[in-house]
Amino acid sequence: MSEIKPNDKGSSEESAEEQDWAAAKAAFDNLKSNKPRPPKPKNAVTIAVSSRTLFNMKAERKIFEEEGLEKYVAFQQEHENEPLKPGPAFPFVKALMNVNTQLRELYPDNEELFDIVLMTNNHAQVGVRLINSINHYGMLRRDLTIERFCMTGGKSPIGYLKAYLTNLYLSKSADKVIQAIDEGIAAATMFTPDTEQELSNTQLRVAFDGDAVLFSDESEIIVKQHGLDTFFEHEKHFENKPLAQGPLKCFLEALGKLQRKFYAKNERLNCPIRTFLVTARSAASSGARVLKTLRSWGLEIDEALFLAGAPKGPLLQKIRPHIFFDDQMFHIEGATELGTISAHVPYGIGQKYHKGKLIEQPEKKE
């Protein structure tokens, strides 16, 4: 059966309307062919970000806390055509887009890409402003389309993270991050730096602490409970025994998977992903076990920086990562003061200490 077109009069000559119809259909078909399909979640590296990490919603949050939910939603609707300002995760997400651009150039049909999910407990009525803000900053484009939203209407979104096959969750809520880590998902609480730094537009730069971030907190437990001398002896004795994995090991693994896509095309030197280990460990006394652990996992780190207890902030200021992960707020504070976008990983024994002092834990109610 022949296709029925509008105003088909059976004439052999095409009318102006028929020509318009054909042109519109051709343009639509061309659009479909030029826009790659979003990657299947099972193949992608999925990053879930909250609306308050992607955008600066400090003023809106104040309305919510002081005037309540209804006033907050009304404010968002009244200002839905005003784009929100970038938040702490914004440069990180833009860097992910740039990696995707380069991956698509090498592998046009590749589905091993970064995929962003906006994971928020906002109400659906706020969604229009979030979508308009994403559009304003060009985040709905062929390199990486933020098409997957999860708006839970005031309820915690943590229960959806596994369903979205999340590789990393970033939030401003420490409670939600702790819940995510308890569910076995790499997660961190984001902090906005005190000053802005110019970051790379061509390379994603990710810096990790070691113990209680990439690795378990077993070594930190020894330091806190028995001191440095016992720690050094322990590390030397167990130098050839790999450390247990920490909460962000799986994210480093996901980054390595994408890095190898570039290596396979002889693009190691031009790889747009660069990873850094920035640890307070000493290289001579406790560094070998760290490097041997990474080797046993089949993982690479581009730069390993052992500071032997020196402050991390000045070095991170030189690295200029799009995100820095650490389990101790002491290091997070020092990094943000000098302009580094930082993310706290609330994991392990370090959460009981601040600036080396034991924090009194509230007694649990029976």
List average pLDDT for each run of 10 residues in the chain, which is 366 residues long.
48 59 57 53 88 92 90 91 94 93 89 90 88 81 69 89 94 94 96 92 96 89 76 78 93 96 94 96 86 94 94 96 96 95 89 57 40
Pairing state between β 357-358 and 353-354:
antiparallel
Tell me what pLDDT residue 146 has. 80
Tokens encoding 280: 């307070």
- N- to C-terminal Cα separation, the chain: 75
Residue 234 contacts residue 281 (beta carbons within 8 Å): no
Instruction: Say if 45-189 and 204-357 have the same CATH topology.
Output: yes
Under DSSP, is residue 94 helix (H, G, I), strand (E, B) or coil? helix
For the CA atoms of the chain, what is the radius of gyration?
Answer: 24
Tell me what pLDDT residue 31 has. 42
Give the side-chain half-sphere CA count within 13 A for 105.
Answer: 11
Residue 313 contacts residue 207 (beta carbons within 8 Å): no
Extract the runs of DSSP E, i.e. beta strands, from 104-186: 114-120, 148-151, 166-171
CATH 3.40.630 correct for 45-189: no
Cα gap 157→51, rounded to integer Å: 12
Identify any residues that bridge with 358 across adjacent strands, giving them in sequence order: 353
Residues in the chain: 366
Tell me what pLDDT residue 178 has. 94
* Other beta carbons less than 10 A from residue 304's beta carbon: 17
DSSP annotation string for 35-86: SPPPPPTTTSEEEEE-HHHHEE-HHHHHHHHHH-HHHHHHHHHHTTTSPPEE
CA–CA distances in Å: residue 256 to residues 44, 78, 170, 249, 301 = 13, 44, 20, 11, 9
Structural domain spans, the chain: 45-189, 204-357
Cα gap 223→235, rounded to integer Å: 11
CA angle (136 as vertex; 135, 137 as ends), nearest 5? 90
Tell me what pLDDT residue 238 has. 77
Cα gap 140→150, rounded to integer Å: 16
For the chain, give the longest Cα–Cα distance.
94
Residue 320's contacts (CB-CB under 8 Å, 6 or more residues apart) are 197, 198, 199, 200, 205, 340
Residue 126's contacts (CB-CB under 8 Å, 6 or more residues apart) are 51, 73, 76, 77, 151
Tell me which fold the domain 204-357 belongs to: Rossmann fold (3.40.50)
Tell me what pLDDT residue 24 has. 58
CA–CA distances in Å: residue 312 to residues 158, 171, 193, 252, 332 = 31, 23, 14, 20, 9
Under DSSP, is residue 109 helix (H, G, I), strand (E, B) or coil? coil
182 is catalytic: no
DSSP 34: H
Residue 33 contacts residue 108 (beta carbons within 8 Å): no
> 115, 143, 209, 326: which one is catalytic?
209
Q: Exposed, middle or buried, 73 (CB in 10 Å: 0-12/13-18/19+)?
A: middle
